[in-house]
Amino acid sequence: MSRARETAADATTANANGAPPRTPTRTLRIRLTDSPVSRVGYAWATLVGFVWGFLWSTGPITYRAGLIVFTGMPKWTFGRGGSCVGGCYLTGSNDGDRVLGHEAVHKQQWLKYGMLLPVLYLIAGRDPLHNRFEIEAGLEAGGYLPRGRHPARPQAPVTPRRDRASSTP
């Protein structure tokens, strides 16, 4: 009997233990992170960032730290000191080497998460001191902390100690 026929026969008859036959199933699994799907999302975000930057940039457009850097953008066209959209960095004038290193990490996050990144970023919160994506990119390099200062860890609230009443007058 051929191998294909044996497999078909095995699928329709009970095995030696008397267990019911196994039916072949097919499962389609799509990886959304660090995959071809996320790369398509990254490419789309880069295209959107490029068009947005090209439309509004009044300064030089350069390629630095693996990013297409659009400077001279009006303040309302980006968030905080600048925004990384795919492989593009949109800013007014905040384009120092330290900041571009920070934004290069965001570019890697775009590559890994694709179009999930904006959703995950919003879920992580707007406070950069608690946003996992900003922490990963470096709070100091992103301009969220002065150099040499790290965020204080939250401490348990201090409750006042209540002393026992004294028995002496």
> C-alpha dihedral over 62, 67, 68, 70, to 10 degrees?
-80
Query: What is the percentage of the chain residues whose pLDDT exceeds 90?
Result: 66
Mean pLDDT within 48-61: 98
Closest Cα partner for 127 from 98, 156, 151? 151
Query: What is the percentage of the chain residues whose pLDDT exceeds 70?
Result: 72
Mean pLDDT, all residues of the chain: 84
Q: What are the residue boundaries of the structural domains of the chain, listed by start?
A: 36-137
Return the pLDDT at 133.
Answer: 97
Chain segment 104-162, per-residue pLDDT in tens? 999 999 999 999 999 999 999 999 999 999 999 999 999 999 876 655 555 555 555 55
Residue 166 pLDDT grade (very low, low, confident, very high; cuts 50, 70, 90): very low
Rounded Cα gap, residues 139 and 147, in angstroms = 9
Three-state DSSP state, 142: coil
Cβ distance 46 to 85 under 8 Å?
A: yes
This prediction's pTM: 0.71
